[in-house]
Amino acid sequence: MSKKQYLGTTPIGILADWMIEDTAKAVMFDALNLAFDEALEDGLIDRPVELILREAEGISRGGRLSDVVNAFDDLVSQGVVGIYGPWISENAIGLRGHVEASAKVPCLSMTGTDRWYGEWCFNVNNGSLTEDSRLMVNYLQSQKISDVCVVYDRSSIGEEYRNAFIDACEEADIRILIQEGVNTHETDLARTVLRLRESNAGAVAYNGLGFAAINLGKEMKAQKWDPLRVMTSSFMLGPFATSGMLDLRGWIGIDQYDEQNVVGEAMLDRFEARYDYRPANWWALINYDIANIFAHGLARAHPQSGQGFKHGLERGVKLLPAANGGPGGAFSFAPYLRRGWLSSNFIVMREYRHDLSEQDAVLTAGPHSIMRHRFDPRPRLGRYPAN
């Protein structure tokens, strides 16, 4: 049988504002290509997608925002119809104005900040700087915690996380006994941990990019202190940091992988059949979802330009089942609606398995963690006990 011939391809850009290692890159491309190939086989799109990757080390890893802007501009110059990225909140905040003012190419991010949204700035949150806190506090309430100590990164990410956590605690009548600010990559946290211990709070809550949580965990172990501890969606940093999953054991954090999502498990079945490995984690699933959203947007993109693709996302992405997140999740976009998720279970809380070995703590395997909590909607007196 002769291979079907197509008239050209559709160029899609990938703006990676965090330099990821080769294994993570391979899982990403496998998931993206699976979704785009399925869309082509199903007749949803009428030509193959050409993926154009540009990488730049952004602010959070010591790089410069200007490098991210230059990478974005380079993708636009290549004639891409849309861009997947940026990924990291600090870079998204800095890039947003440039995207809105100049490029006229839709960007689909997975950033957690609410400061990204705009006419050309769409989002499928990989966690949320403002909603992680609600789920964390919801879990603390389920554990009958009445007071907590807070550690936060001194950064725009840390501050947005921290402010949302304060709001959530006030609503739930959970007292914050102490707040400790740390630098994102600070390693000497002995005094910080000592002050946390002396507060005698019922739990520790970390609000930041994730590196400090790794170092906090190491120091807690050194001081032989094992408190109940919760952290934001930076929990999902684990697979990307050296021994991160192992060093984050003990934390209960925001994740997006859920074994009960039948859409996601079916996608992993097809993934395994095609590539002979099963990455049962959020990274594979969110990349599949991103490509599936792109494909449905392209199906309604007339013409295939930045403007046409924006209209295609607004018209073609309606109650699109999500592989990532909890069961029953879906995506929809519309004019003035740039947040894709339609589910409170787009985030869940998990804990890395204590029996996880170094050999198994890789992105090509999983599940690496166990479920600890899904959002539990509470009646008025459960949400506002002070009443």
Q: Which domain holds residue 34?
A: 10-128+260-343
| Residue 28 sits in the same domain as residue 138 | no
**Between 203 and 358, where is the model more confident?**
203
Q: Is residue 2 one of the residues assigned to a domain? A: no
Is residue 100 packed enough to be buried (19+ CB in 10 Å), middle (13-18) or exposed (0-12)?
Answer: middle
- Residue 223 shares a structural domain with residue 234: yes
Contact 205, 150 (CB under 8 A): yes
Number of domains in the chain: 2
Which band of pLDDT confidence, cut at 50, 70 and 90, is reported for residue 60?
confident
Tell the burial category of 199 from Cβ atoms under 10 Å away from its Cβ (0-12, 13-18, 19+): middle
pTM: 0.94
Domain CATH number, residue 331? 3.40.50.2300
Cis amide bond preceding 303, omega within 30: yes
Angstrom distance (rounded) from CA 326 to CA 329: 6
316 & 214 share domain: no
- Would residue 278 count as lying in a domain? yes
Same domain, 95 and 242: no
Answer yes or no: do 74 and 101 share one domain. Answer: yes
Task: Specify if 325 maps to a domain.
Answer: yes
Q: Per the structure block, which two tokens stand in for 137?
A: 């506090």
Indicate the angle between helix axes 282-299 and 262-275, nearest 10 degrees: 100
- pLDDT band of 149, cuts 50, 70, 90: very high
**Residue 67: strand, helix, or coil:** helix
Report the pLDDT value the prediction gives residue 385, as an integer from 0 to 100. 59
Q: Are residues 121 and 154 in the same domain?
A: no
Residue 55 lies in a domain: yes
pLDDT tens per residue, range 318-335: 999 999 999 999 999 999
Instruction: Give mean pLDDT, residues 205-223.
Output: 94
Query: Do both 185 and 72 map to the same domain?
Result: no
Contact 293, 83 (CB under 8 A): no
The mean pLDDT value for 367-384 works out to 85
